[in-house]
Structure 1
Amino acid sequence: MMSFIKELKRQRNISDKELMFVFSFVFLFFLYPLSMTAQNKTQGTKIKNEVKGYIVDAQTGEPLVFANAVIKNTLIGAATNKRGFFVILDAPAGKNILVVSYIGYRTKEIEIEIKDGKDEELKIKLESQDIQSKEINVVADHYKFWKTADEVSQITISPITLSKLPNLGEKDIFRSLQLLPGISSLNDGSSGLYVRGGTPDQNLILLDGITVYHVDHFFGFFSAFNSDAIKDVQLYKGGFDARFGGRVSSVVDLTGKTGDMEKFRLSLGANLLSVNGVVEIPLFEKGSVLISARRSYADIINSGFYDQIYGFLTGGETTQSNVTQRGPGRFGEQENMVTPSFYFYDLNVKASYKLADKDFLSFSIYNGKDYLDQSQNSQQVTLRNNSTSATRTNKDLTDWGNLGGSLKWTRQWSDLWFSDLTMSYSNYLSKNETGSQFDQNVQNTGAAAVGSSTNSVQNNEVKDMTIKFDNEFLLSKDHNTSFGLWFSDLSTNYIFTVNDTLSILNRSQKGFQFAGYLQDKWKISELLEFKFGLRQTYFSPTKKIYLEPRTSFQYKLSDLIKIKGAWGIYNQYINQITHENVLEGSRDFWLISSDELKPISSTHYILGAEFETSDYLFSIEGYYKKLDNLLEYSQRIVRSQGNRLISSSNYESNFYQGEGFSEGLEFLIQKKFGNFNGWICYTLGKVEYTFPDFDDGNPFPAKQDKTNEVKVIGSYETSDWNFSASWVYSTGLPYTAPESQYFITLLNGETQSYIHVSDKNIYRFPDYHRLDVSASYKFRNRSFDGELGLSVFNLYNRNNIWYKKYDLTVSPIEVTNVSMLGIIPTIFFKVNF
């Protein structure tokens, strides 16, 4: 043991003080629950009137995560954990009605008898809303799409109902999240989540404990998660508790489906861009294996839908041109053939097995990849006068993706103590290579061919090995304690080179985080509930300890009205650096924080209120986020008289740090009951940054700043048909523009042009709005069922502005508006066996 400690200190350069900090975590978080258990035994504590059990899918037997079980006409209840298990302590004795509900499932009422000493474990099966039920104890449908949780700024989403919302070709979890209050996108081509003014890299994205660093396909058009493989989505828009760390904006916690433990199942689907399939295989009545795969087929079979999206992303460039001879010395022949090749795929595999009554083991794999080849095959040019030919070959290759896996052991020590031990690995890799080769040959002269070439390469890789040990301990009906340990070993590598010799940036980093957390959810009375938490993180690159206290509360003014609030400090130790797109450096990249590039820090302040009836929910929530140590990277390249590229020798000087804030108010009206349901939400927000080296240190609107945003979503459903529509409106995004151009004649007679650029982001694009609609039909017979649907994006073909192009070769400067996507109809098909 001592030799291990010495080796750890030597390799990681850890001081005795830092080592004592690490072991104090172990002492605190392992002895605390054991001491509480011993104390309860010593005092002879006995749990009375206990109601416990599992809530599962009636068709597949899958556990339902965060389902609710409540004693009717009381405030006494509990939510299920990751295994679908719940326990209610000190329930009222006698005959009662247990109301069980879950998003996308039919609420169920069960008669139970509660008495002291009765230790019966219930198994409650809920039916999906898509299944016709004949049970008399199934009550009215509620919350078909999503619901707010008791925790502040937390939302539970059901992936099984997402196909009912309008979509852009794919049933997309992240694009559906963008329809919720406080969550935005930048443009039609982005599935990234801008949560309350934060950026996508500031969100912690977890899939079965795997940290996912790149969450989209096709340059952001679609999210990288196949919704058919996801069982549950928990979204924390801010103020999240001490269990989560490492990000400063929000948390998206996804739980993958475990698969049917009793019956083999097969599901197949297709749309105008991809095909997908899901296979569920039982394992000896104690487990299951689920395999989900999705792949685009644009590289095999082209479609108009793919052409529209590709044209949008590339600015609508032509793919082929032919120019004939027009006179002496002119080009006699020019051929320019560009045949882009693109595909993406993702694969989810999850194996689950019940080792014993109290032990459950699961293993998950996620692999997602994109590949795009926009290289030009060749270009042949012939000059008739001197018989000179030239051949040009352009290379443009990009591929990126995530590979990850996790192994989780879940242990139920008792009805009151649950543990999860998770080991996960995540690897993100992005590669981009561009270049051109030009060869010129003068025929019949014997002269050697003349050639030239240029190229640039950008590679970014992130490796994350994480071990987490999470515990939940029910001390009593009024105290629910969570505690855990978390270790993450990180490494990043970013290389940007030009012409194989000029290194613009080459940065490799390693570091680890060791964290522990402890929190208690204390129900002070039937009306007031507090949660107190503390997270401490030791970050090796800075050799500092970061304290993150967090607290939240909920106060029930009545059965219908409650007030919520939260406050907390958050730090982020790995950042996606914004690249200013100079010299083809168009891709953001991940780097670990350091003493020079400090971790991003944020403080959240949240306060809101809800008024909820059986049919409607009205809510208002205000938030303020203070942001420190924001990062941007700007590489300046100049040309010498010899036309050679010159870069700053100290790349650290190209990083800039600043601060900012995000504030706003969210209003929501949700109709959650009946055949027709939906919601209307409005967000008033502001996001402002200040960088001392930008605009003389004056504050400016962030690129994601939207003053006003309105979303109206409606859905009407019959037994076989579903019709839905969504309308989105927002204030135009800010942008920076060149305002004038002037020329100066140098002493050597050369003329140099200069562009005067406006202050950063002082202009705004016109307001954005669009209407999407969809219709779907469910069909069934004895051996299979399925769904056929049509979705129309941007129904009234609104011409929204994406960005502006400037032609600086003319005076005055010529400006062209580049539009976002117009009207796009898509169809989808799915069949289940």
Structure 2
Amino acid sequence: MSRNGYLSISCLLFFLNVAILKAQTIQKEKQPLITILKVLEEKYNVRFSYVDETIKNKTASLPNDDLFLDEALKLLKTETQLDFELLDNRFIVIKKRIENTTETTTFQTQRLEEIVVSNYLTTGITKLNDGSLTIKPEAFGILPGLIEPDVLQTIQSLPGILSTDETVSNINVRGGTHDQNLLLWDGIKMYQSGHFFGLISAFNPYTTKRVNVYKNGTSAKYGDGISSIIDMQLPNNIDNEFKAGLGFNLINADGFAKIPLSRKTELQLSSRRSVTDLILTPTYDQYFKRIFQDSDLTNANRNSISQNEQFYFYDVTLKFLYDVSKTDKIRIHFLNVNNRLDYDEQSTINDRNDAFNSKLSQKNLATGITYTKNWNEVLSTTSQIALSNYDLDATNYDITNNLRLIQENEVYDGSAKLDINYTHNHHLKINSGYQFSEVGISNLEDVNNPVFRSYIKEVIRSHAVYTEANLLSNTAKTNLKLGARLNHIPKFNMLFIEPRLSFSQRFLNNFRLEILGEFKSQTSTQIIDLQNDFLGIEKRRWILSNNNDIPVLKSKQASIGIHYNKNKLLISAETYIKKVDGITTRSQGFQNQYQFVKAIGSYEIKGIDVLLNKQFYESVSTWISYSYNTNNYTFNTLNDGKPFPNNADIRHAVTFGSTYTINNFKFALGLNWHSGKPTTLPNTNDDPNDNEITYSNPNSTNLKDYLRADCSATYQFNISNTSKATVGASVWNISNKKNVINTYYNLDSNNQIAKVENQSLGITPNVSFRVHF
């Protein structure tokens, strides 16, 4: 062959090698590790367990398709400098490598959590093997009717959780009242959950890292919350990365910032404020109509006029992080939530003009300090001192009758906790601790005509110790969490032993059996004395048990479930039974013959939750859930001691939803239906001259069925290399259906029975715009 021929072949081979190398380079382009893990989970039918911070900002190349699982893991181990421990042929733990030097030793305590279902309903919601659900607002996809990851609205999409009046201040978990839910913000108990008196969550989702929701099988470290635990946690690790965001919608504007101050310190700030006192929007009009219907603001009598109403809310969050050393961390927490309403009541009597200002204020302040110490690679402790202060104040004028009523409900909650975590290995983890709390609740009523003043304050101190063991089998198919909590109330000389159980068994690869159980107790509750308390807007007030006419609440709950998960198809069925003793008629909000009766009783609920969730590729997720239950009261002194339906006895509930994601566009459409809430009708043969209403059997009738359709959409785009924006739009109750959520009866001025109906939100549009830096 000639020299030119050799030269031509050599050039051809050179360019061919360059092309092959370029193609391989493209194929081996670095990707986020979390993206690769999702691919490997589908390919090898495995599950990865890891702490979020472990894989944060880690990138790697996607292993070749012809590699075995152990070969792929070895490549990832080399590229990421992480350890991949294969516990069995399906469960893999990812952890940081322990670095030993002459100066320092770095520990990382691993969290034993297997994600049983990822993308539960939508991205950002996962189900863990201890029966709990975790919501991560930062990774949240989209749900019908929501354009922002409102924490307390989001959990109402979960089976077994709903609100009979569409608010976040009245969430019913398996038939319980809202005060039976324990809301924790960075470990601090909160007594106020909503803005706009219940229509919006009081907790900024953009500063919330994760939310753990427990309906049963609660960890022993949690006290109170006999119906559920909603544990909201802020970011807790310093990553020396600046983040910020600004946004607004037709109700409020907010901003947040995550600011590294030094290598060891960080400041997290957020603030949100309503725009309702600055600009009126269609969303505000609907919210105003919904919340203030049937209140003193809109029910002014014919001789007076309510006007010049001013309403606003705000919340401020601050968290300071200080890593004293590699094993010592200090965190300082602060949250202030505030709602305020003012309006003028004017009247003209005998040619004289009078005007007085009625007002309502509701706020919750929480602050605390947390110290975490990693003693070695297996032992860590966390101690926290916290204070939560709730204050509800109202001044209400009735000009026509020359009345002025002042009401106040204040809660002081101070606590100290010590939590000890011992991680023997990936198969055994022990959690123990001690908690002291002092809760003081006061109630004030002051009337000018006739002169009357009542001030009552109760204080309860309690001590609790707990221990719990979490065991994971060698094959990772069996997970058992077994614990107990011991509560002591010296004031009543009462001792409560509360066992807790969470058992999960995977079988036939794709099936899982789940058994959960718990005993719980609770000393604080909410009551309603009169339906027009606190201007008829925020009627419930907190009180403490007195071990007399207000007992300590006690609950027992057990559930068993079967779950099937394969090829992005989830079929889940869970049946449960719950019994709660110590409830009072005042805590249930009766508006029938038992409205002014004081009695102690119980309720028992039996039910089943079924969920079918199918994901098509990565773009479409569709689900339908059905809940059935029977929920009955028993009061020995009422209804001849016979059981009758609970006020929250929603016998049937169906939720359908579908989300579609393509590139940066997300769309969701959903439908909510449930049977009507129980109600009590007056007798048709009632005597109009006896000045009272005679009722039929309690809760023997139901309101009409509830039906609501919602939709929402968001689109994200880049503004620059370091910032992006998101626009969103939603419509709540697309068909503008007039759902009646409550009905009661009273006597009018002619001594005739008048029917009062409270309606749900009408068609409510909303739009939002956010910028992230």
1:515 equivalenced with 2:464 (yes/no): yes
* The 10-residue stretch of structure 1 (769-778 or 250-259) with the greater mean CA deviation from structure 2: 250-259
CA 1:390–1:635 in 2, change beyond 3 Å: closer, same or farther? farther
- Aligned AA (1:380): T
2:592 aligns with: none
Partner residue of 2:24? none
Look up the SS of the partner of 1:375 in the other structure. strand
Shift of 1:806: 4.5
Shift of 1:583: 7.2
Aligned partner of residue 262 in structure 1, secondary structure: coil
Distance 2:297 2:411 in 1: 35
* Number of aligned positions between the proteins: 688
Q: Which residue of 2 aligns with 1:29?
A: none
The answer to whether the 8 Å contact 1:258/1:290 transfers is no
Which residue identity lines up with residue 608 of structure 2 in the other structure? L
Cα distance change, pair 569–220 in 1 and its aligned pair in 2 (3 A): same
Match of 1:781 in 2: 719
- Contact 2:147/2:712 (<8 A) preserved: no
**Aligned residue in 2 for 1:825:** 765
Write the distance in 2 (CA, Å) between the matches of 1:321 and 1:556: 58
Partner of 2:554: 601
Q: Does 1:148 align with 2:127?
A: yes
Confirm or deny: 8 A CA contact 2:143 2:669 kept in the other structure: yes
Q: CA deviation at 1:83?
A: 9.3
Contact 1:660–1:687, Cα closer than 8 Å, also in 2: yes
Q: Per-residue deviation at 1:160?
A: 2.4
What does residue 657 of structure 1 align with?
Answer: 600
SS in structure 1 of the partner of residue 762 of structure 2: coil
Conserved? CA contact 1:362–1:407, under 8 Å: yes
Contact 2:432 2:465 in 1 (8 A): yes
Q: Offset at 1:79?
A: 4.6
**Change in 2 beyond 3 A, CA 1:316/1:434:** closer
User: Quick one: structure 1 residues 84 and 592, their matched pair in 2 at CA, closer, same or farther if it must change by over 3 Å?
Assistant: farther
**Matched residue, 1:464:** 413
Letter in structure 2 aligned against 1:370: N
Q: What is the CA-CA distance between 1:366 and the residue it aligns to?
A: 0.8
Which string of whole-angstrom CA distances, capped at 9 and with x for unpartnered residues, describes residues 758-814 of structure 1?
A: 222111111001110011111113252110111011111212113336474469745
1:480 aligns with 2:440: no
Residue of structure 2 equivalent to 1:402: 364
Matched residues in 2 for 1:304 and 1:831: separation?
A: 23
- Report the equivalent of 1:51: none
Give 1:543 shift.
1.6
Matches within 5 A, 1:305-320: 305-315=283-293
Give the counterpart letter for 1:662 in structure 2.
I
1:319, distance to aligned residue in structure 2 (A): 8.9
1:365 aligns with 2:357: no
Amino acid at match of 1:251: I
Secondary structure of the corresponding residue to residue 156 of structure 1? strand
Say if 2:271 and 2:314, in contact at 8 Å, map to a contact too: yes
Residue 72 of structure 1: how far off its partner (Å): 9.6
Match of 2:658 among 697, 711, 714: 714
Q: Tell me how large the CA RMSD over aligned residues is.
A: 3.7
1:552 deviates by 2.5
| CA-CA distance at 1:394 after TM superposition | 4.7
- Match for 1:753 among 686, 691, 704? 691
Give 1:318 deviation, angstroms. 12
Query: For 2:770 and 2:574, how far apart are their aligned partners in 1?
Result: 38
Question: Are 1:560 and 2:515 counterparts?
Answer: no
Distance 1:350 1:501 in 2: 48
**Cα gap change, 1:513 to 1:238, in 2 (>3 Å):** same
| Residue pairs, 1:49-448, within 5 angstroms | 78-80=49-51, 97=73, 120-121=97-98, 144-152=123-131, 154-162=132-140, 164-167=142-145, 171-258=149-236, 261-315=239-293, 336=305, 338-376=307-345, 378-380=346-348, 388-437=350-399
Alignment partner, residue 727 of structure 1: 671
Shift of the 731–536 alpha-carbon distance from structure 1 to 2, 3 Å rule, reads same
Amino acid at match of 1:80: V
Taking the aligned partners of 2:203 and 2:702, their CA distance within structure 1 comes to 33
Cα distance change, pair 336–97 in 1 and its aligned pair in 2 (3 A):
same
Deviation larger for 664-673 or 479-488? 664-673
Q: Match of 1:313, SS?
A: helix
> Quick one: which amino acid aligns to residue 661 of structure 1?
E
Q: Residues 74 and 772 from structure 1, CA distance in 2 versus in 1: closer, same or farther, beyond 3 angstroms?
A: closer
Gaps of 5+ in 2: 1-30, 57-67, 87-94, 100-105, 107-117, 590-595
Asked whether the 8 Å contact 1:94–1:113 carries over to 2, the reply is no
> How far apart, CA to CA, are the structure 2 residues paired with 1:191 and 1:318?
20
Partner of 1:572: 522
In structure 1, C-alpha distance between the alignment counterparts of 2:391 and 2:380, rounded to whole Å: 35
Q: In the alignment, which of 399, 419, 441 is matched to residue 492 of structure 1?
A: 441
Counterpart contact for 2:658–2:670, Cα < 8 Å: yes
CA apart distance, 1:363: 1.1
Once the two structures are superposed, the pairs formed by residues 575-724 of structure 1 within 5 Å of their partners are: 575-581=525-531, 586=536, 587-596=539-548, 597-633=550-586, 655-672=598-615, 674-724=618-668
- Name the amino acid aligned to 1:534: A
Structure 2 counterpart of 1:802, one-letter code: I
> 1:479 and 1:425 mapped to 2: Cα distance?
33
Aligned-residue offset at 1:535: 0.7
How far did residue 660 of structure 1 move?
1.1
Alpha-carbon distance in structure 2 between the residues aligned to 1:575 and 1:362:
30
Query: 1: distance between equivalents of 2:674 and 2:588?
Result: 32
Alpha-carbon contact 1:257-1:350 (below 8 Å) kept: no
d(CA) in 2 for partners of 1:342, 1:150: 44
Q: Quick one: distance in 2 between partners of 1:615 and 1:321?
A: 52
Q: CA deviation at 1:121?
A: 4.1
Q: Could you tell me which amino acid in structure 1 is paired with residue 333 of structure 2?
A: S
Q: 1:280 to 1:190 in 2, by over 3 A?
A: closer
> Kindly tell me: are residues 580 and 613 of structure 1, through their superposed partners in 2, closer, same or farther at Cα, counting changes over 3 Å?
farther
Shift of 1:686: 2.0
Following the alignment from structure 1 to structure 2, what is the Cα–Cα distance between the partners of residues 245 and 584?
A: 29
Residues 162/718 of structure 1: CA separation in 2 closer, same or farther (3 Å cut): same
Shift of 1:314: 2.5
2:698 alignment partner AA: K
Q: Does the 8 Å CA contact 2:166/2:199 hold for their aligned counterparts?
A: yes
Question: Is the 8 Å Cα contact of residues 742 and 753 (structure 1) preserved in structure 2?
Answer: no
Paired amino acid for 2:731: V
Which segment is superposed worse, 154-163 or 809-818? 809-818
Deviating more after overlay: 690-699 vs 456-465: 690-699
Q: Is the 8 A contact 1:468 1:486 kept in 2?
A: yes
Alignment of 1:12-27 (within 5 A): none
Which amino acid in structure 2 is aligned with residue 296 of structure 1? S
Deviations 1:347-393 (A, max 9, x none): 111111221112222111111010011332x2335xxxxxx413343
Separation in 1 of the partners of 2:706 and 2:313? 29
Structure 2 distance, partners of 1:762, 1:524, is 50
TM-score, normalised to structure 2's length? 0.81
Q: By how many angstroms is 1:344 displaced?
A: 0.5
- What TM-score, normalized by structure 1, do the two folds share? 0.76
Distance 1:407 1:687, change over 3 A: same
- 1:9 corresponds to: none
